């Protein structure tokens, strides 16, 4: 069995960040938008550093102006993920880009994404959404995003998160939004410990009371924090290819995911924004196998961690477990 054939669970994934560059170019051309500056000579996304990456990301969302556009995006992204063997995907969805956080518009966009996700079940992939506030848009925008999440919480929208520039504001600024989401029964995650150091992880845990951390890899710089994560069972949504592509670590071999795992921290593997980082889940597995000697049993163990940590209902969890166990049979 190749790693492509191995069923995979992915917990850290941005829907717009998974848009193929060709799709973005074609949609921009059809709408008369000039966003040519975000691509390099080969047609790939072009950025120098993380802050420019955020700018390019937001520019790439501009051609997606309607629920139908998001239905198409969802269908294409899920098709590509299924091709890489993903059987369960949690994707970060931002009302900021889906009607400007207007609750009525958000419902229309969401319905289009749900319909596309339901159709993709025929490919053997299930998707759930995590409504995600954009940190550098500020706390008030996050409250509006949390209100959208609260009003659409259910079997598809199962989580709430925080993404964007980790150095914008402080986690405490977003506590109200997270309280709103928690009261609506949503599960919680937040990006931390990628560009912020170990303290950013502590702050997210303290002020936002999350059960998962997006990235979280810089915990490795604080042995006490590593022990705390291992003892409390906080799950890290690790995206090695993203970290290497953005220069958080110079190579796959120097990435701390193996050391974190060996220390007892619960880690999972995801792509983050696959076309931005020239990756998919097959490449993530291939590179980790090359760097650390991991074999199918290691990835199966990672998937069990991810299944336990997934923000889904029991019915969905049982279905995904069947898909994983079917591969082991």
Positions marked active-site: 194
Angle at 158 between CA 242 and CA 76, to 5 degrees: 55
According to DSSP, the residues that pair with 269 across neighbouring strands are 238
CB neighbours of residue 48 within 10 Å: 9
Range list of β-strands (E), the chain: 8-10, 86-93, 126-134, 157-163, 187-192, 212-215, 235-238, 266-269
Q: Which two tokens stand for residue 304?
A: 């069990």
Pairwise CA distance, residues 254 & 244, whole Å: 9
Helices (H), 121-254: 139-152, 175-183, 198-203, 223-232, 240-245
Closest CA to 236 of 291, 190, 281: 190
Q: Which two tokens stand for residue 324?
A: 């994983």
Pairwise CA distance, residues 173 & 326, whole Å: 45
Angle at 154 between CA 149 and CA 155, to 5 degrees: 130
Q: Which two tokens stand for residue 40?
A: 């390099």
């Amino acid at each position: 069995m190749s790693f492509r054939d191995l069923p995979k669970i992915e917990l850290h994934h941005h829907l717009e960040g998974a848009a193929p560059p060709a799709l973005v170019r074609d949609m921009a051309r059809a709408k008369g938008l000039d966003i040519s500056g975000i691509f390099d000579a080969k047609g790939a996304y072009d950025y120098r550093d993380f802050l420019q990456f955020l700018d390019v990301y937001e520019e790439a969302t501009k051609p997606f102006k309607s629920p139908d556009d998001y239905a198409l995006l969802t269908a294409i992204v899920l098709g590509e993920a299924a091709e890489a063997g993903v059987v369960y995907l949690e994707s970060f969805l931002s009302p900021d880009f889906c009607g400007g956080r207007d609750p009525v518009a958000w419902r229309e966009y969401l319905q289009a994404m749900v319909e596309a996700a339901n159709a993709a079940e025929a490919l053997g992939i299930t998707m759930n959404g995590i409504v995600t506030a954009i940190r550098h848009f500020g706390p008030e925008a996050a409250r509006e995003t949390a209100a959208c999440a609260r009003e659409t919480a259910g079997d598809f929208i199962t989580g709430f998160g925080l993404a964007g520039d980790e150095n914008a504001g402080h986690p405490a600024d977003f506590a109200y939004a997270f309280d709103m989401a928690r009261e609506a029964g949503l599960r919680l995650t937040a990006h931390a410990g990628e560009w912020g150091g170990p303290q950013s992880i502590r702050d997210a845990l303290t002020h936002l009371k999350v059960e998962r951390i997006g990235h979280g890899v810089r915990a490795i710089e604080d042995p006490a924090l590593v022990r705390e994560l291992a003892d409390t069972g906080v799950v890290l949504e690790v995206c090695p290819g993203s970290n290497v592509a953005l220069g958080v670590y110079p190579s796959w071999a120097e990435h701390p995911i193996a050391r974190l795992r060996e220390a007892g921290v619960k880690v999972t593997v995801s792509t983050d924004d696959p076309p931005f980082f020239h990756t998919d889940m097959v490449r993530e597995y291939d590179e980790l196998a090359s760097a650390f000697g991991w074999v199918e049993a290691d990835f199966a163990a990672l998937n069990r961690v991810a299944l336990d940590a997934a923000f889904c209902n029991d019915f969905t969890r049982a279905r995904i477990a069947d898909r994983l166990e079917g591969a082991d049979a």
